[in-house]
Structure 1
């Protein structure tokens, strides 16, 4: 059986998995019931921790104190510190005895400084009995246990948070590429993992530098990328706008599939902007088809993301819509599953409304405030139909609710999962980490309405793939990728649909591609590590087939209410 397992998944994967299994087994074996005892003599004579591991354990303990302190001060619904400690202590000490858990939590809750907390925690936790790997993972274990109770909790470094903020503002600084990995033998060495540019984005530094798709990165500023972790590689590739990076790359000639010689390219990092509003054919509003139906004055905009440029993209779309004689507008809010920027959501809702209250915002230990709109009112005079569903993002759902409460839009589809909680990033006092957590709660401007948002016209659900077609992809083995591409192609042929990809920059295959072009795109997607089919849309529309009749009916009814 083991031989068959190795043949299927590869010797390399098997060895790695065996190593991980051994690490887990060692970790489980070293954690005994003695660790739960409140024995201050746990540091026996001569039993010390290596200096590096000691420092690592203390840093993690201090970080835990800062996380608890931040939660207690800013989380919208976090309990007192002792209750928070009761959440993390059982997993940390492998306890099942409630009385012991309560005693440890009470003693730790009395600590008034991070150093005192760290000292007491290390005495109780006995880090000398853990491996460095287990100590390093302690922080993630603590955050995960808190997240299971509090929701929307994520600890990240300041540098990582800064990158996320760049994406939210649509001012990401980089090379304009998507990364993947490939196994390759280079210059006679053993096979190793190298990063590759799975896609070179239009308008980015990589495209301007002539870097092809699927180029393999051999070196970054003279440092080898052989078997380098993705996190380390990202640190090498990122930098301020205007700075340069020298890459040594190799690639295959597309036509002949012959390997090209290694070469060095110098790229200048710059701001990469992504479109967030699209037309019916999934192209940007500047050149896309904005009509819902060619025979009627009904327009459609697909609001894929909520970023710093979304409001301006809507303004640009309004010019084209009015020039085209559009009188009713459909806004598709279904594909924004990752939208969580409520600052931009407020600006967009403000831009779409003609005054009034958007919602009420509640924060811990602060007065409730009403957030209001001015008088801009984009698409003034055009009735709006907003389409929502189970994958509608939180920020999208908040905008849709504000439009519904103001009587500005008719909502069609399924209720989004948004429950009114707002997550934001709060810096820890160590100035090295940011804690992403629920810091506010929104209530509707109409007191008789609550969350989740309820559509005025329920419709759906969306078309689903068969179990055989719902193939989950990994980076390997290759046969799985081929099967996924074939399954997607079969669905396209049978249902006349295109596939929505879970991708931040491109979510749909344009419906005007030829069969060969669609096949090539499907195959390219199949090579990516993540390829999840969320919803499937008719080739003539961005909207699910089950929603089309209701959306068309509602839009036509609104059209009838307008003067000739």
Structure 2
């Protein structure tokens, strides 16, 4: 039997054909089929067919029964109808129509796992942890995860209204327009000479290759002194890509391993010696929106002592889903394994705890007195070493706005990298 194995760690899918991963390989049942429950199921089905106020066709009843079986297992298992199955596949390509949010479920409500950079959701200020209580005028409580995904997606340019609750605050309404979501998974930015930011928004099929190319460019002629790997609000994605990203910083040892009931659900991924990052000091930024594949990377680098993890606790999704195609373009998305960090830690419902906790904050610069410096005085002596003079005018010109000035966590990560380089000087 040939089945589609989904190496994934969140809402994205990488379908790889692997032989022999099928329900036929599951362990033999210790107990016979529960005939009483099957009789009850048949009786309920017949009662609904004959007594429900409106006629319901058999296919609808059976699909609802299948959907209920999957939704009763865990928040990430689901029955995928043709539209949902196609949407899941489209997400992997990094382009789809919608708002740009990764969602999950909590206490019957739809919860924002993370907004995706440069999307309508991010532009509207939606944050990880927000609860969606209404989509347009439809209450979200009790709505299945897949129904919520299908409701949020739609034609680009169409409008949708979300009623949200943040923390203990009052509900507020956000009006958004759907757009074609083209997710650029890897971006880089020079923070200061020798220090760079590498931002991964999602783990897509080609993310590993993009990270390697970016690292090779940033570290040309060993010019890189420190790197901030930003995984904040990264909802996860393709497991294989997470392995490739972690491998870019490691040269040996385990990156992640999975354990499940099926033999093919037990996998181990090891680092290779090809690491374009070299020995560059790394700080990894995480927060409550860092889920799944992001936690794989952070956990691997933390266990190997390769990076300092900074920020706040991550989301805590440590399960792997397999997509099992059915007939008529339908599929099951089934949780089949848990993943573990190199030291054997399960992140499920725990998350990655940062080495250095830094809460989200915004620092404002105090107004500085104009004043005078030695270089401003007439007939001042020149610098004996021939260095550039720095008067008050030159300092004002040098204080241009930088990304780290408006991002406290990023500023702290950069300061730590500078400190590491200071103490490492020969």
TM score, norm. by length of structure 1:
0.44
**Displacement, 1:407?**
1.7
1:397/1:411 Cα in 2 relative to 1: closer, same or farther (>3 Å)? same
Higher Cα radius of gyration: 1
CA shift, 1:167, in A, is 3.2
Distance 1:319 1:81, change over 3 A: farther
Residue number in structure 2 paired with 1:418: 316
Following superposition of structure 1 onto structure 2, how do residues 135-214 of structure 1 map, counting pairs within 5 Å? 136=60, 139-140=63-64, 143=67, 146-147=70-71, 149-158=73-82, 160-170=84-94
CA contact (8 A) 2:232 2:289 kept: yes
Verify the 8 A CA contact 2:253 2:271 in the aligned structure 1. yes
Which runs of structure 2 are paired with 1:469-484 in the superposition (5 Å)? Answer: none
Q: What does residue 287 of structure 2 align with?
A: 389
**Displacement, 1:276?**
0.9
Q: Tell whether the 8 Å contact from 1:72 to 1:79 is kept in structure 2 after alignment.
A: no
Residue in 1 aligned with 2:422? 560
1:107 maps to: 36
Could you tell me how far apart the structure 1 residues matched to 2:294 and 2:246 are? 9
Among 404, 409, 418, the residue aligned to 1:547: 409
* Structure with more strand by fraction: 2
Deviating above 4 A after TM superposition, structure 1's stretches of 4 or more consecutive aligned residues are 70-76, 78-82, 132-135, 176-179, 448-451, 561-564
Report the Cα distance in structure 2 between the residues aligned to 1:120 and 1:349, rounded to whole angstroms.
Answer: 53
Distance (whole Å) between structure 1 residues aligned to residue 290 and residue 32 of structure 2: 34
Shift, 1:561, TM fit: 4.7
Indicate whether 1:459 and 2:368 are aligned: no
Q: How does 1:298-317 map to 2 (within 5 A)?
A: 298-317=195-214
Counterpart contact for 1:74–1:439, Cα < 8 Å: no
CA distance in 1: counterparts of 2:294 and 2:324, whole angstroms = 22
The alpha-carbon deviation at position 370 of structure 1 amounts to 2.4
In the alignment, the residues of structure 2 paired with residue 353 and residue 347 of structure 1 have an alpha-carbon distance, to the nearest angstrom, of 10
Contact 2:227-2:283 within 8 A present in 1 as well:
yes
Maintained 8 Å contact 2:259/2:337: yes
Structure 1: distance between partners of 2:227 and 2:303: 18
Aligned-CA RMSD value = 4.4
Residue 366 (structure 1) aligns with: 263
Shift of the alpha carbon at 1:562? 4.3
Match of 1:123 in 2: 46
Q: Which residues in structure 2 correspond to 1:45-56 (within 5 Å)? A: none
Equivalent residues of 2:318, 2:346 under 8 A apart: no
| Higher RCO, Cα 8 Å, sep 6+ | 2
C-alpha deviation, 1:273, in angstroms = 6.7
Deviation at 1:134, TM superposition (A): 9.2
Q: 1:275 aligns with which of 175, 180, 184?
A: 184
Shift of 1:383: 1.4
Deviation string 1:178-228 (CA, Å, 9 cap, x unpaired) is 79xxxxxxxxxxxxxxxxxxx9xxxxxxxxxxxxxxxxxxxxxxxxxxxxx
Residue 357 of structure 1 deviates from its aligned partner by 0.5
Pairing 1:406–2:304 present: yes
Q: Of the candidates 181, 187, 190, which is equivalent to residue 291 of structure 1? A: 190
Richer in helix (by share): 1
Q: How far does residue 146 in structure 1 lie from its aligned partner after superposition?
A: 4.9
Q: Which runs of 5+ in 2 are unaligned?
A: 1-20, 100-118, 120-148, 156-180, 363-400
